[in-house]
Chain A
């Protein structure tokens, strides 16, 4: 536990950073606020405070971080160096486009190369994260059906039950009803259930390929054709693109629109939860609906903002999206080229299958026939026989120096643990992780109680998550108030650990 900024408050100790005012002081035409209750610290104390907090954070730079569905790969330092160049960091999006040709070219090249990777015709880099990419893609689908006069009749989106939670949530944000379709025993979309669900009132099918069990949907072309036959479009969640870069392109599969999570596939840092970016690539039929402004190149070769797009869905951001994130992704793509990106998927899939091969004796798996970039194991047997859950295993791994995998997602596998190693871990690291997982499986038999109280080596032990929701404290007031819970909220039990992207 570290002291809070508010406990370190030492009024009057803040450094000054500005020269004295060099213009005449005029009377203020408003009454300035009487008090401003912010803490003051000397700069050295600030540096020490945040440096100490950084030490209490597992990260890619410090630990193996095999969170399934999150693609926690090494974040190259070059990306950060490029993004901090003053020509990029110091430019304003509303300055004259003639003075921002370098930035516009970055975004234009990103639009093109991402469309190429997707096997689709056009791309917007404006969406700010995967969830907003989904929202944008569905709005384009909605606009497409509206334009064809079918907007009123197509009110449903089909989403497999294994999908990320953002899929149905984004559909709801577009005013759509969501129909959930069950997966079959192999974790694939059940084609019979899909055909039953499809109909003239369906606007789109949302799929994830490879799916959240780390399995490539072998019937993907059949599925797309079935959707298209009924007039529905196919949206693909690109969260798992790290598995298929250069191995299969969504556009070739029959997908009409997809988003990328550049903070997964293209190595931009997760930053403790963001910022990300969620570019959306589309087939030509959806191109008129891309958000504004879009970057285009004129015949003279100059780049410009294109606002003259009457069918556009609108804008998704106050400016131009998370441009700094797109720049990092483009840097990564340029560094790799086509062959490098194919190596990415190839090594990522190899590493995941290696972990699967080493651990499938100790844990049950949802991937009996191998996996793509991530494998899904289950602690159901350990839970039944020894009372040790996936949650306990997740909490024990940090004691061995590893971050936990994603647990309890996908929800269609009991006690699931979704492990995604990525292509940037050494075999020695993969082996050490597998050794730890095997050791923990042994501990579940020999010392289950110890596991149920893990972790044991961190600054804090297992935290009371349900208690946090019950006695809600989101803001530090006074120590007395903070430590007592006088007005407990509804004792709704938090679903422990369900985590996706």
Chain B
């Protein structure tokens, strides 16, 4: 059997010290009927495989998945295939980091704590926000936490969510707020540009009872918003501005702090994490320091020991569930610390110049791919707004059909927006990261040309 450390002789000696005849005696407090039923059920369970057989079985399942090692991905929609230097996973897979617990005992966890403090600082610098926490589960739950915090801080109930915000984020926000006194209100987008409808926003803000306005920069369609104008509108009505950002894009885009966001949340997957079927991801949570006592999740602060040596510790724990229980600012306990470590190492490795270069290449490649595709017959741009590394095209066929056929070319194609937006039938959301080569882009363009020509002449 795997991983057990006790030998039969150890067990016998330990039972003798305890004064029990056998290990069964240690479970004598469990009713016999319960034990019998459990024994029967466990006897019927599969498994108990050797390491070699386990590996064979799971390698077989892995082989059934199309993946970014083998195919060109032009699919993003919140999860991106970026390049990650080898040093990142080599360092992040060190057992000391991977197998440590939450750093409740500060003195034995200085490595973990310093990493989190560095993570918080890197995030503050990347976003130009005043503080960041130690991570939340993912971007979507980060938004939910931000909504709850904003309504608590403003003592107002209404929250404005743009329809061009990720449908997954809106879904999670609805799940998280269903039992709470929070009203989610959708703001439509301009069907021409794909940006938030500012007139509707202004009208919705008139009553002055809005807790927060959410803006996604870039939005789900990849389009850039006029965040400054939206921020001013929100603040003029006494609402907070919650920015949903992609940290990778901040290599070149103006950061949330520059347009005075009160809370900024995002998913850190684009900072060195693999796709892994969408999880684990990394919830990023930043806000103005005046909200520090309302913030969810763990925070690491600077301190010193009895001799004045610098050290780090979890702080403001009186906000958290293990002390405040039902009055805690959030129920979160386990977070995504190891993913925050990956993001920290990624940013340290590539540095300012590397992030700027990767973000800039992502934009240029996306722009090149978009222009090349738009030149094809029967294909046109869906939204006119400026984009970062994702953009939309209206196709002459369904996106599902295009994607089926692209697979034959070794290409994982765009996201089908009609899955969430019935009004966007035939609209595809493409993505290009710095990892895509000109050759791959040209292969995509040629494949799309072939597929769309064949279909429209058929």
Contacts and interface: CB of A to CB of B under 8 A. Distances in A.
A68 B153 CA distance: 35
Interface stretch (A190-198, A279-287, A313-321): A313-321
B353 A334 contact: no
A275 B412 CA distance: 28
Contacts of A129: 137, 332-335
Nearest to A273: B337
B106 A465 contact: yes
Interface stretch (B50-58, B155-163, B195-203, B207-215): B50-58
A175 B179 CA distance: 5
A89 B276 contact: yes
Contacts of B345: 46, 50
A181 to B, nearest CB: 14
B101 A72 contact: yes
Contacts of A291: 175
Interface in A104-138: 105-106, 113, 116-117, 119, 128-132, 134-135
A495 B48 contact: no
A445 interface: no
Contacts of A171: 326
B105 A403 contact: yes
Tell me whether chain A's interface is mostly helix, strand or loop, or mixed: loop
Contacts of B13: 427
A395 B107 contact: yes
Interface stretch (A225-233, A264-272, A380-388): A264-272
Contacts of A309: none
A169 to B, nearest CB: 4
B54 A269 contact: no
B65 A101 contact: yes
B135 interface: yes
Interface string A76-110: 10101111111111111111100111110110000
Contacts of A199: none
B179 A455 contact: no
B78 interface: yes
Interface stretch (B121-129, B186-194, B447-455): B121-129
A492 B318 contact: yes
Contacts of B338: 269, 271-275
A451 interface: no
B154 interface: no
A337 B47 contact: yes
Interface in A341-379: 341-343, 346-347, 349-351, 353-354, 356-358, 369-370, 372
Given A18-B83, A353-B20, A474-B292, A103 B65 contact: yes
Contacts of B51: 78, 335
B121 A476 contact: yes
Contacts of A165: 320-325, 328, 333
A329 to B, nearest CB: 12
Contacts of B55: 78, 81-82
Given A18-B357, A88-B65, A403-B105, A25 B27 contact: no
B256 to A, nearest CB: 11
A298 interface: no
Most chain B CB atoms below 10 A, which of A15, A43, A92, A342 = A92
A395 B105 CA distance: 8
Contacts of B1: 336, 339-340, 343
Interface string B222-240: 0010000000000000000
A86 B3 contact: no
Interface residues of B, number: 211
B46 to A, nearest CB: 7
B115 interface: yes
Interface in A412-461: 423-427, 429, 453, 455, 458-461
In this complex, the member of B45, B79, B253 whose beta carbon has the largest number of chain A beta carbons within 10 angstroms is B45
A100 B79 contact: no
Given A318-B168, A472-B301, A474-B131, A18 B267 contact: no
B79 A319 contact: yes
Contacts of B116: 272-273
Interface string B306-317: 110111111111
B33 to A, nearest CB: 8
Contact of A335 (B2, B358, B367): B2
A336 B104 contact: no
B6 A249 contact: no
B297 to A, nearest CB: 10
B355 to A, nearest CB: 7
Contact of A95 (B20, B330, B367, B412): B412
**A2, A15, A135, A272, most chain B CB atoms within 10 A:** A272
A489 B365 CA distance: 48
Contacts of A5: 118, 121-122, 344, 348
A91 B26 contact: no
Nearest to B47: A337
Contact of A166 (B20, B307, B321, B353): B321
A185 interface: no
Contacts of B18: 350, 353-354, 356-357, 370
Chain B CB within 10 Å — which of A90, A276, A356, A495 has the most? A90
A247 interface: yes
Interface string A22-41: 11111011111100111111
A142 B176 CA distance: 13
Nearest to A465: B313
B269 to A, nearest CB: 9
Contacts of A316: 141, 172, 175
A500 B332 CA distance: 12
B108 A247 contact: no
B424 interface: no
A488 interface: no
Contact of B175 (A61, A166, A245, A314): A314
Closest 10 CB pairs of A and B: A337-B48, A319-B278, A271-B338, A87-B62, A314-B175, A175-B179, A90-B67, A337-B47, A61-B95, A14-B351
Given A55-B111, A339-B42, 18 more contacts: A1-B311, A4-B114, A16-B357, A21-B360, A29-B387, A47-B87, A75-B99, A113-B47, A165-B325, A253-B34, A318-B140, A318-B168, A335-B54, A337-B46, A357-B18, A427-B6, A498-B322, A499-B322
25 contacts: A4-B118, A14-B351, A14-B353, A18-B357, A22-B438, A29-B224, A30-B224, A33-B254, A36-B250, A87-B63, A88-B276, A90-B81, A91-B65, A93-B279, A102-B60, A247-B30, A272-B102, A273-B103, A274-B280, A313-B178, A314-B171, A314-B174, A317-B141, A338-B45, A460-B110
